[in-house]
Structure 1
Amino acid sequence: MSDILKKLQPIFQDIFEDDDLLITAESNADSVEGWDSLAHIMLIFAIEQEFEIKFALGELEAMKNVGDMVELMQKKLS
């Protein structure tokens, strides 16, 4: 598990109010219970705050799973 993915874990657990939630690179809105449009907005906001980054609308639309998110975050943080 990448460092970014490890750091995302508690954010996902907080947003989805599930301490047992385990995310992987393959996790997506279809595989995580409660991941709807509102949860997605809250998730992106929390990630932007925690990592001090900003996602462009086009970047958000291109994300298909957590792995895509981590890859984009790695680029922004390097």
Structure 2
Amino acid sequence: MVQQRIKAVLAEVFQIDPATLAPTASPADIEGWDSFGHLALVEALQTEFRIQFEVEDIARMENLGAIEQILLRRGVEP
């Protein structure tokens, strides 16, 4: 469930098909996931999951799987 929600956010922010996203999807795989895209993604994730990330969390968001683990550690229901 969490991964599907993350995929939906990534798809919206980067205008891509969520079905193409693997757990290893990273900035190298997604056009537009640069520093500005990362900020847009963080904002969209915070809105979707109603949380505030710590700076360390934001720096660790290296791929879809890492984002999922961060959200689960922050108490988001699976």
Q: Which structure 1 residue ranges, 5 or more long, are not aligned? A: none
RMSD (CA atoms):
1.4
What residue is the counterpart of 1:39 in the other structure? Answer: 37
Provide TM-score, normalisation by structure 1: 0.84
Aligned ranges 1:1-78 → 2 under 5 Å: 3-18=1-16, 20-21=17-18, 22-76=20-74, 77=76
Provide TM-score, normalisation by structure 2: 0.84
Return the offset for 1:30.
Answer: 0.6
Q: Which structure 2 residue ranges, 5 or more long, are not aligned? A: none
Q: Number of matched residues? A: 75
| Contact 1:26–1:66 (CA under 8 A) maintained in structure 2 | yes
| Contact 1:5–1:24 (CA under 8 A) maintained in structure 2 | no
Return the offset for 1:25.
Answer: 1.4
Q: Which runs of 4+ in 1 moved over 6 A?
A: none
